[in-house]
Chain A
Amino acid sequence: MSETTAIRGGAQQKLLAFASLIVLVLGFSLASPNFFQTSNIMAILQAASVNGVLAVGVTLIIITGGIDLSIGTLMTFCAVMTGVVLTWAGMPLILGVVAAIATGALCGLVSGFFVARLKIPPFIATLGMMLILKGLSLIVTGTKPIYFNDTPGFTLIAQGSVIGALIPAFPVPNGVLILFLVAGATAWVLSRTVLGRYTFALGSNEEAVRLSGVNTDGWKMAIYALAGGIVGIGGLLIASRLNSAQPALGLGYELEAIAAVVIGGTSLAGGRGTILGTLIGALIMAVLTNGLRVLSVAPEWQTVVTGAIIIIAVYADQLRHRKSS
């Protein structure tokens, strides 16, 4: 295989996911005139934003060959801490933003410590974190939601539209803008920085990296912390959309995010993956949910279809690999 075919192989994978997305959009548009409307498209993007941000975060961890099951309840815990800072302590908005991201990064660092230093398998370590964070959210809030009615402008974080103010024809919600900014920045980190290079290297052959004299434990913790920080942004988005921190929410979000990552062609074995793929994966899931709803398919069937799509997506990826090897 030459260099060019290797590049083509990577592009092909994204092309496949992208083609599926186009086919879904075309199919739903033909099936229902209500689907391809600006308002509905914006609703889809808005729906994809939280899951997309979480998926971008967990993509980093999955590329290292790990997994993070705690991102759903971590998202909620970050939202709760934002509520503590803004509503309970009455601090300015910017500190609420900082609280969300810092909480996420700190919890990510803790997960990373369990995985890298204590050598607890990522599945177990983050399963534990998932339950711990769920419990902490309920304890901190006394199981009651925290509302953001006293913080003017908080709902604008996700629901406002900076782009819409500039170009009225494109009322892209800020949540979507934030998703694309986060994705762009993360893709940049992955492809251009030392951290990104080690993310792939750890997933390819961690022992070889360690024997190269690299502080693998430290870098791994940094990657988990970065992913946690990104999840913190997800927490901010969901809190802004609901104008509240709902402590009981969160479980199940991690699996949706992991599903988006997998549909986007990132290998759960590590060493391989792209943010663009994850983004497309998150959009496919949002289009699917929305489209089936527009077609009045019962919600329980939507879940079944989503599950089937995950299996088909991974099977298609397997086929492609078998062919290339």
Chain B
Amino acid sequence: MSELIRMQAIDKHFPGVHALKSVDFDLRAGEVHALMGENGAGKSTLMKCLSGVYQPDGGHILVNGAQVSLPGPKAAQDLGIGMIHQELALMPDLTVAQNIWIGREPRKSLGRLDEAKLNALTAAIFGGMNIPMNPIARVGDLTIARQQMVEIGKALSHRSRVLIMDEPTAALNDAEIAELFAIIRRLKSEGVGIIYISHKMDEIKRISDRVTVMRDGEYVGTVEAAKTPISRIIAMMVGRELSDEAVSIPDLSAAETALEVRGIARAPDLKDISFSVKQGEILGFAGLMGAGRTELARAIFGADPRDAGEVIVHGRPTAIASPRDAVAAGIGYLSEDRKHFGLALPMDVRANIAMASLPRFADRLGRLDETRLGQIARDYIATLKIRTPGDRKEVRLLSGGNQQKVVIAKWLLRDCDILIFDEPTRGIDVGAKAEIYRLLTELAAGGKAIIVISSELPEVLRLSHRIAVMCEGRLTGILPGGASQEQIMELATQRNSMTRENVA
């Protein structure tokens, strides 16, 4: 196999941070090379050096054996290096073809756009990949998975021989992941080299040929994916072996029911869902992407309206029409998207922790007691071990795990005793994950009722005392803690509604 990329002794400094310390990396034609490491390990920085966004302070980059300099993204693009960003960079109101050829539109005389050629070129790209795709579909109308294919098509339109994919499956369901992997295999067979950044171990095992691990800006090692056990890769990432702790299930027979939900429905996402959680219990929600778990959480919390259903909090039926009602009843919701729904990023840790409880710290004039707010914020920083230089630090400057802890502190301060965690460790690195798990277990042991929605089965299994499984808006079953992955997957794919529709 010929070598497409070789990065040698790449060094990069930022003010106060040595982000890359003499890192080596190489990519061969027709391989998928996974790049792994905790958040902050330097993966993105390394890839930004390769895609021309950053200029390294030291080291060499060779493309097809020749040393190159990459002063900007355009230079990298011209050398056939394309990047598929984690957050897709598409314009939702333009068509597929318009998105792919933006800035390079084929023209006719007098600067008129040649739409016919534009669409034909686009059809050819997707034809080549064997993907059915309508060039004149509006991108905003496509699913995230289809949008990602548009991004891939865009990269290929630059005749890319190297594709960098940053967490490409973060928003995809299993069927879509399978489709993406089929495309990746086809690209491989055509000699395209793919650099694949992901946190998901099972994917790495499924798709990649080699794995390179980075830690704290340093190159740790490169191993063959097929021959290396997952525990060894994780050990390389965190610098220690992780023991896969089994969940210990407390005896909750005497515990009171904290939250009961009866017959929640909301067309078309949720169909007649009933369940309950006890004080001190962690109820996991498993299911495939699109099963309706987030929609269920938002409906319970009053963030979205619902068509039917009762919410009973501590034995009392409670009318919940808005998040305000839910919070007043002691329910807190920690969204999967912390940045958009959980935090005011430009504001400091103290203000974010107090966000749901401000009136409690104000006198009759509405004047805030900053001294107490500061004290309380520092208490939570200490008890939850939030790593921040102080309570006046802006939360946008904290890592994902520490931002999550700030959101947890917000709800604890608000005295919420029913907490709904939606993907509590999304975007959080392996080391911080273990800490969040421990925190959740401690909260439950302290009497909180906890609902955990997670797309990662190991996470559900590790945390849950009971496991509720959803499929296509229905609750297909509740399993005891420690159930097997096979049992969960069976319930998660129980699509009898679909078969019924097919018959009718």
Contacts and interface: CB of A to CB of B under 8 A. Distances in A.
A312 interface: no
B368 A197 contact: yes
Interface in A231-263: none
A204 B346 contact: yes
Interface string A290-308: 0000000000000000000
B345 A197 contact: no
B478 to A, nearest CB: 27
Contact of A194 (B341, B342, B366, B397): B366
B346 A209 contact: no
Q: Chain A, interface size: which category?
A: 20 to 34
Interface of B: 301, 303, 323-324, 326-328, 333, 335, 340-347, 351, 354-356, 358-359, 362, 365-368, 370, 389-390, 392-394, 397, 410, 414
A38 interface: no
| Ranked 10 nearest A-B pairs via Cβ | A213-B327, A204-B344, A212-B356, A193-B366, A205-B344, A212-B355, A194-B358, A194-B362, A194-B366, A201-B344
A194 B357 CA distance: 10
A210 B393 contact: no
B427 to A, nearest CB: 16
Nearest to A213: B327
Contacts, number: 86
6 contacts: A194-B368, A197-B358, A201-B344, A205-B343, A213-B414, A271-B347
A205 B335 CA distance: 14
Nearest to A7: B392
Contacts of B347: 200-201, 204, 271
Contacts of A210: 303, 323
Contact of B394 (A6, A209, A215): A6
A200 B341 CA distance: 16
Given A1-B397, A2-B389, A211-B333, A194 B345 contact: no
B335 A211 contact: yes
A19 interface: no
B362 A193 contact: yes
A207 B340 contact: yes
Given A205-B340, A212-B327, A214-B356, A193 B368 contact: yes
A208 interface: yes
A213 B345 contact: no
Identify which of A205, A210, A272 gathers the most chain B CB atoms within 10 Å of its CB.
Answer: A205
A150 interface: no
Given A200-B347, A208-B344, A213-B326, 17 more contacts: A1-B397, A6-B393, A193-B365, A193-B366, A197-B354, A204-B345, A205-B340, A208-B341, A208-B342, A209-B344, A211-B323, A211-B335, A211-B341, A212-B327, A213-B327, A271-B344, A272-B346
Interface string A1-41: 11100100000000000000000000000000000000000
A257 B137 CA distance: 44
A93 interface: no
A192 interface: yes
Contact of A205 (B333, B345, B356, B390): B345
A208 B324 contact: no
Contacts of A215: 324
Contacts of B328: 213
Given A193-B367, A208-B341, A201 B351 contact: yes
A253 B76 CA distance: 50
B389 A3 contact: yes
B337 to A, nearest CB: 9
A195 B303 CA distance: 23
A207 B327 contact: no
A147 interface: no
The secondary-structure label for the interface of chain A is helix
A4 to B, nearest CB: 10
Nearest to B373: A197
Contacts of A271: 344, 346-347
Contacts of A214: 324, 355-356, 358
A193 B366 CA distance: 5
Given A2-B389, A194-B362, A195-B366, A213 B356 contact: yes
A208 B345 CA distance: 10
A3 B358 contact: no
A63 to B, nearest CB: 11
Interface string A194-231: 11011011001101111111110000000000000000
Nearest to B388: A3
B331 to A, nearest CB: 9
Contacts of B358: 194, 197-198, 214
Nearest to A201: B344
B410 A212 contact: yes
Given A201-B351, A213-B327, A207 B356 contact: no
A130 to B, nearest CB: 29
Contacts of B393: 2-3, 6
A111 B368 CA distance: 27
Contacts of A211: 301, 303, 323, 333, 335, 341-342
A205 B351 CA distance: 13
B384 to A, nearest CB: 18
A6 B323 CA distance: 32
A201 B414 CA distance: 17
A210 B355 CA distance: 10
A270 to B, nearest CB: 10
A204 B340 CA distance: 10
B325 to A, nearest CB: 8
Contacts of B410: 212
A207 B344 CA distance: 9
A195 B397 CA distance: 25
Interface string A36-65: 000000000000000000000000000000
Contacts of A3: 389-390, 392-393
A204 B346 CA distance: 6
A177 B354 CA distance: 35
A6 B392 CA distance: 9
B326 A192 contact: no
Nearest to A192: B367
